[in-house]
Amino acid sequence: MTFLLSAALLIGLPALACWRGLPVWGLFAVAAATYAALALPVTLQLWALSAGAAQALQPDHDTYYVVAGFHGSWTIAGAMGLLGLLHFAQARALGIPAPRLLLALFWLFHLSLVLGQMLPRMIVWATPPRRYIDFPDAMALAISASAWVTFICWVALVALLLCLGHSVWHKSKRTS
């Protein structure tokens, strides 16, 4: 059930910020803060696992997925923060307005990230016993779908960076 709450927060908070009129760099900042806030419980769980406290409560707990969730969540939070900083520099320091295309690319990038992270979790947590190995066919489908979503995410990221680079190059060409 926590993955539904996570998905709702990851989609809902940037959507609310977009509705309130935040620029694209602000949407990246909201998404980064949301990922960081959701990574904090995973960090605490990893700390408890390293201290041995959770092993006594859940002897069959799979530590690999906790560590993977820790690295994945903090990496995405950092990447979103960095992209937000780049777009902030574009908008404020260089005085270049963000094209409307950036908003569509942000949502394509962000939604593909959320969907790519949530697909395997939705399949596994849908029915007990909640172990990845118990659902080989469903996991094969989830991994295949996740690979396509990841490809869409990378295409959106490259397009975001190309759009940023093009606007900076176009601005420098006009000033010289």
pLDDT tens for 36-90 read: 888 887 777 777 766 665 555 555 555 656 666 677 778 888 888 888 888 888 7
What's the whole-number mean pLDDT along residues 26-38?
88
**Residues 70, 41: Cα–Cα separation, whole Å:** 9
CA separation, residue 72 to residues 38, 143, 159 (Å): 11, 16, 22
Of 4-13, 115-124, 152-161, where does mean pLDDT reach its minimum?
A: 115-124
Contact call for residues 131 and 139 (beta carbons, < 8 A): no
Give the residue numbers spanning the domain of 39.
Answer: 2-175
Answer whether residue 94 shows pLDDT above 80: no
Residues 6+ apart with CB under 8 A from 159: 105
Put residue 21 in one of left, alpha, beta given phi > 0 → left and psi -120 to 50 → alpha. left
**Residues 26, 28: Cα–Cα separation, whole Å:** 5
Answer whether residue 10 shows pLDDT above 70: yes
**Residues 176, 172: Cα–Cα separation, whole Å:** 6
Number of domains, the chain: 1
Q: The tokens of 102 are what?
A: 């950036």
Answer whether residue 18 shows pLDDT above 50: yes
Q: Scanning the structure block, which residue is given the tokens 């989609």?
A: 11
Answer whether residue 164 shows pLDDT above 50: yes
Of 25-29, 115-119, 152-156, where does mean pLDDT reach its minimum?
A: 115-119
Helix (H, G, I), strand (E, B) or coil at 23: coil
User: What pTM did the predictor assign?
Assistant: 0.72
Q: Specify the pLDDT at position 1.
A: 46
Of 11-15, 73-77, 150-154, where does mean pLDDT reach its minimum?
A: 73-77
**Residues 78, 76: Cα–Cα separation, whole Å:** 5
**Residues 86, 93: Cα–Cα separation, whole Å:** 10
Q: The tokens of 56 are what?
A: 């006594």
Q: Specify the pLDDT at position 3.
A: 66
pLDDT tens for 98-146 read: 667 888 888 888 888 888 777 766 666 665 555 666 677 777 777 788 8
CA of residue 154 relative to chain centroid, distance: 12
CA separation, residue 48 to residues 12, 43, 69, 71 (Å): 30, 9, 15, 16
